[in-house]
Amino acid sequence: MAGDEKTPIVTTTSSEIPAPPTIVVPAKGSKKTVTYIWMPNTNGDLVKADASVIKKSFAKLPADAQVALTEYLIGIANKQPTNSARQSLWNDIVDGAVAAFKQGQKQSPWDVLATLAKNSPTNTGQSVTYTNYDRLTADALLGKTAKAIGFDIALLSEADKVEYFNKLQTEAKNSGKSTTRKATEGGTETLVTPSIFDANSFTQSFLWAKVNFEDTKKIPSTAITQIAAIRSLLKLNGINYLSQKEINQLGVNLASGQTTIETLKADLTQKAIKAYPQLATRLQATPGLTVRDVAEPLINTVANLWEVDPNSIELDDPNIDKLIRPDGILGKMAPATISEAYNFAINHPNFDKTKKAKDMAFAGATAFLKSTGFGTGA
151: Cα within 13 Å, side-chain hemisphere:
25
CA–CA dist 49, 72 (Å, integer) = 24
CA–CA dist 275, 267 (Å, integer) = 13
Put residue 375 in one of left, alpha, beta given phi > 0 → left and psi -120 to 50 → alpha: left
CA–CA dist 70, 117 (Å, integer) = 12
| DSSP assigned state of 73 | I
Model confidence over 269-320: pLDDT tens digits?
999 999 999 999 999 999 889 999 999 999 999 999 999 999 999 999 999 9
CA–CA dist 148, 232 (Å, integer) = 25
CA–CA dist 15, 21 (Å, integer) = 17
Model confidence over 79-120: pLDDT tens digits?
777 788 888 888 888 988 898 888 888 888 988 888 877 766
Candidates 241, 202, 189, 198; CA nearest to 4 is: 198
CA–CA dist 204, 59 (Å, integer) = 31
253's CB contacts (< 8 A; 6+ apart) are 259
Q: How many CB atoms lie within 10 A of CB 4?
A: 6
Put residue 35 in one of left, alpha, beta given phi > 0 → left and psi -120 to 50 → alpha: beta
Helix pair 261-275, 221-236: axis angle to 10 deg: 30
Q: Output the pLDDT for position 68.
A: 82
CA–CA dist 134, 224 (Å, integer) = 32
Model confidence over 207-224: pLDDT tens digits?
988 888 777 778 888 888
Q: Output the pLDDT for position 370.
A: 63
Which of the residues in the chain have pLDDT under 50? Answer: 1-15, 124-129, 178-181, 188, 190-193, 377-378
Please state, in angstroms and as integers, the Cα–Cα distance from residue 148 to each residue in 69, 172, 217, following that order. Answer: 17, 21, 17
